[in-house]
Amino acid sequence: AAQQQQQLQQQLQQQQQQSNHAPPPPPHAHGVIHQPMQQPQTLLENGTAGHKLRPKSPAVIRSASPIQRGTTVGPMSPSSPKHSRPNSRASSTGAGHPFAEREQRRKYRVEKKLQEMQQMDITEREKELLRDDVYHDILEFAERYYNTHERSPEGTIMATLTRKGRESVDMVPKYEMITYYRGNTIPSSHIHMYDPENVTIACNIFRDLCKHIRGELNNERELQVIQFIIGQGIEREELRDEIFVQCMRQATNNPSVEWTDRVWLLLCLTIVAFQPSKLLFRYFCSFLKKNLETLEGKLRQYVQWCLDNCKNTKVRCRQYAPSSVEIAAMRRLGTIVCRFFFLDGRTKAIDVHPTDTASDAVAKLAEKLGLCNIEGWAIYQSRPDGEEHVKSHDYLYDIIAAWERYVDG
C-alpha cells in the first residue's frame, strides 16, 4: 500500500509539472486538461492520507474557463483576478476599454501629482511665514540672481562724457543694489531675464516707480503708473520678482517717510495681485518681518498686510490691475463693501477682500443669510449689455476693475 501511494505521488507530481510547463489550453480543450486533475482528486477522497496528496497549487482546479466566465479574453490565468492586468478583467459587454482606462489612470496620476505639488508649495510658504529663527538676507539673493550694474553718475552732460572717456568701469556692489537709489534710471533689470523686451520694461518700471514715490506725478498720472506696474506683472510672469525687488530696494533706507509710504502702498497692491516666486519668497518674508520690527504706525500696518497676504493659496493670480476704488480703499487700509441684490428684492452688503473669489462671496452671503447649503447659488453681474454669470474662481475685484475699464471706454 505504501508503494502504491508513493507511485500515486510520483504520478501526481509529473502531472503537475506537465500542467505548469504546458502552454495555456484553448477553450475547447479545457475539459481535457482538467480531466487528469480530477482523477487524483477522486483518489484523494477514497484514500486515507488525502491531506498529503493535495496539490500545491489548486488554482487550476478552482479557476473557471473563459467560456464559464462569459468572456473570450485569452486563456485563463493561474493568478487571482484582482492581481491580473486590467484588460483581463474586461467583460464581454465591451464596458472595459484598456486604452480609455489607461488614459483615465494617467490623468488621475497627473492631477494627483499637481495637487501634491501645490499643497507642498502652500505648506512650505506657511512654514516659512511661521519660522522666526532663520533670517534670509536679500543680499544673498542679490549675489545669486542679480545682474551687474555699471555705475552711471546722474547729472550734467560733462559727467556723461567723463564716464565714457574712462578706461576702467566702476561697478555697483550688490549691497548698494538692495538699498534706496537716488537716481531714476538703471542700465538693466535687477534680476537675470531671458526676454530682452522684459529687461526694457523693467527699466521703464523703475523710472516710473521713482517718479511716483517722490510725488512728481499728478493724481491721474499716479493712478496710471500704479496700474501700469502691476498690470505688467500680471501679464508677464518674469517681471513679478523684478517688481518686488525694485520696491524692496526703494523702501530700504528711504530718507522720506512720505516716499516710503508710497512704496509700501504699491507693495500692498502688488501682493494681492500676484505672489513672489518660490526663489524670492523666503527672502521677501524675512524682509517683511525685519521691517515689522522697525517700522511704526501706518507703515507697520502696510507691512502686516503684506505679511498676512503672503499665504494666499489661490491658484490663479489676478487678471486686471487694481481699480481706482481698490487703490483708494488700500490707502486707508480697508476693503471694498459690495452690495448684492437678490431676486426677491432684498439686498445684502459684505466686505470683500482683494483675494475673494465669487465662491468666497457666496459663502459669506450664505453665512449672513443662515443658509445651510449653497448648492445652486451663483453670482451674476448686471451690465448695460446684459447679465452675465460670474465664475466661481473669478476675483470680484477683477469684476470691479473690468467695470471701470468699460466705463472709461
Going by C-beta distance under 8 Å and a sequence separation of 6 or more, which residues neighbour residue 300?
291, 292
Q: With 80 as the cut, is the pLDDT of residue 342 above it? A: yes
Q: Which domains does the chain have, with CATH numbers?
A: 2-67 (no CATH), 138-318 (1.25.40.530), 336-408 (3.10.20.90)
Whose cell is 459684505? That residue is 350
pTM of the predicted protein model = 0.67
pLDDT (average), residues 5-15 = 66
Q: 60 or 124: which carries more pLDDT confidence? A: 124
Task: Give the DSSP per-residue string, 59-119.
Answer: HHHHSPPTTTTT--SSS--SS-GGGS-GGGG--TTS---HHHHHHHHHHHHHHHHHHHHHH
Mean pLDDT lowest among 65-74, 326-335, 356-365, 376-385:
65-74
Q: Report helix, strand or coil for 351.
A: strand
Is residue 370 within 8 A of residue 348, CB to CB? The reply is: no
Cβ atoms of residues 236 and 201 within 8 Å: yes
The predicted pLDDT at position 56 comes to 43
Asked whether the predicted pLDDT for residue 6 surpasses 90, the reply is no
Measure the CA–CA gap between 202 and 222, rounded to whole angstroms. 18
Q: What does the DSSP assignment read for 83-97?
A: GS-GGGG--TTS---
Q: Which value, to the nearest 10 degrees, does the dihedral of the CA atoms of residues 46, 52, 56, 57 take?
A: 20
Q: What's the rounded mean pLDDT across residues 372-400?
A: 92
Q: What DSSP string describes 374-385?
A: -TT--EEEEETT
C-alpha torsion angle, residues 321, 326, 327, 331 (rounded to 10): -150
pLDDT, residue 116, reads 62
- What pLDDT does 93 receive? 43
Q: For position 159, what pLDDT does the model report?
A: 52
Judge whether residue 361 has pLDDT over 70: yes
The mean pLDDT value of the chain amounts to: 79
Task: For residues 67-94, give the mean pLDDT.
Answer: 43
Using alpha carbons only, what angle is made at residue 126 by residues 190 and 355, rounded to the nearest 5 degrees?
75
pLDDT at residue 397 in the model:
97
User: What pLDDT digit, counting tens, does each position of 231-273 carry?
Assistant: 999 999 999 999 999 999 999 999 999 999 999 999 999 999 9
pLDDT in tens, 394-403: 999 999 999 9
